[in-house]
Amino acid sequence: MKIVNTVEELRSIIKEWRKAGETIGLVPTMGYLHEGHQSLIKKAVEENTKVVVSVFVNPIQFGPTEDLATYPRDLDRDAKLCEETGASVVFHPEPEEMYYDDFCTYVDMDGLTKGLCGKTRPTHFRGVCTVVSKLFNITTPDKAYFGQKDAQQLAVIRRMVRDLNFPLEIVGCPIIREEDGLAKSSRNTYLNPEERQAALVLHRGLAAGEELVRGGEKSVSKVTSAIREIIENEPLAKIDYVEIVSWDGLDEISEIDGEVLCAIAVYIGKTRLIDNFIV
């Protein structure tokens, strides 16, 4: 497995692969990889002859007061995990390699990016859509893999690919959890032991909400109130949002009908965690 730092080198590798008739899977990540990322890489290895994992903490998707500087990084460990899982290349560019000093072109989306995480992170999805477009253009993958853990991101990327005619398939992958139910996340490393315990309230709230929906409850407000009540009982938790929207367009709804996304964002101490279910 190779670690590649420049766009030029990755392009020349891709060119050789294309000549040889290889199929290419791309797994975009910000690194500090865990079993959640690994499940995406595994699926990509099953479905393609070559797999590129990008490890890039994308500065333009962080807001000015967010955790860009402290975001955990460990390239050696990431490279080992990628190699063991069967990836062909880790693409690890420096920010200057991805963004010229006078970079000024962005991919922006209305609609789907405005609600949920878009409310507290107004420039986040512009950063995500821009970097993912760049990675698609650099790598020209046949398939790209995204986790349902970031459900809004998955919906946004699917819509971008449709709207801008990117010639590739987006593969969504299920949420991987710790044994006690906490969704795996690089940001879980920020939690102290007390917060780690308190963070279980996300999964507990969602599990109760999902049970209500599966039991036939149709009222969005009843389900979100039940989830809120559970989370508000945890002193270390502060709700950013608890919402149920349509899964295809992330539209606000009042009645549960068809496929819906129930998504939550909760601060545990200073750490903002997200989780969701789709029914």
DSSP 182: P
Residue with tokens 């917060």: 195
Out of 129, 161, 173, 230, the only residue in the binding site for ligand AMP (CB under 6 A) is 173
Q: Is 176 a residue that touches ligand AMP (CB under 6 A)?
A: yes
Q: Provide, rounded to whole angstroms, the least separation between the CB of residue 50 and ligand AMP.
A: 19
Report the Cα 16 to chain-centroid distance in Å: 30
3-state DSSP call for residue 113? helix
Residue with tokens 């903002």: 272
Q: Provide, rounded to whole angstroms, the least separation between the CB of residue 225 and ligand AMP.
A: 27
Of 126, 106, 110, the residue nearest 62 (C-alpha) = 126
Q: Pairing state of beta strands 24-29 and 143-147?
A: parallel
Q: Is 149 a residue that touches ligand AMP (CB under 6 A)?
A: yes
Q: How many CA atoms lie within 13 A of 179 on its CB side?
A: 0
One of 37, 92, 124, 203 is an active-site residue; which one?
Answer: 37
Q: How far is CA 162 from CA 149, 150, 219, in A?
A: 21, 19, 31
Q: Is 10 a residue that touches ligand AMP (CB under 6 A)?
A: no
124 has catalytic annotation: no
Residues paired with 276 in a beta bridge: 263
Span from 3-11, 18-26, 169-177, 255-263 in contact with ligand AMP (CB under 6 A)? 169-177
Closer to ligand AMP at the Cβ: 36 or 127? 36
Span from 12-20, 37-45, 204-212, 219-227 in contact with ligand AMP (CB under 6 A)? 37-45
Closer to ligand AMP at the Cβ: 175 or 273? 175
Region of residue 92 (left: phi > 0; alpha: psi -120 to 50; beta: else): beta
Count the residues of the shown chain that bind ligand AMP, applying the rule CB under 6 A.
17
Contact flags string 225-264 toward ligand AMP, x per CB under 6 A: ----------------------------------------
Span from 90-98, 134-142, 147-155, 267-275 in contact with ligand AMP (CB under 6 A)? 147-155
3-state DSSP of 89-139: EEECCCHHHHCCCCCCCCCCCCHHHCCCHHHHCCCHHHHHHHHHHHHHHHH
Q: Is 147 a residue that touches ligand AMP (CB under 6 A)?
A: yes
Q: Is 184 a residue that touches ligand AMP (CB under 6 A)?
A: yes
Report the Cα 185 to chain-centroid distance in Å: 10
Q: How far is CA 240 from CA 37, 112, 182, 228, in A?
A: 25, 18, 18, 10
Measured CA angle at 132 (ends 261, 87), to 5 deg: 95
Out of 78, 150, 234, 243, the only residue in the binding site for ligand AMP (CB under 6 A) is 150
Span from 142-150, 160-168, 239-247, 253-261 in contact with ligand AMP (CB under 6 A)? 142-150
Residues paired with 24 in a beta bridge: 50
Closer to ligand AMP at the Cβ: 135 or 227? 135
Residue numbers at the binding site for ligand AMP (CB under 6 A): 29-30, 36-37, 39-40, 146-147, 149-150, 173, 175-176, 183-186
Residues identified as active-site = 37
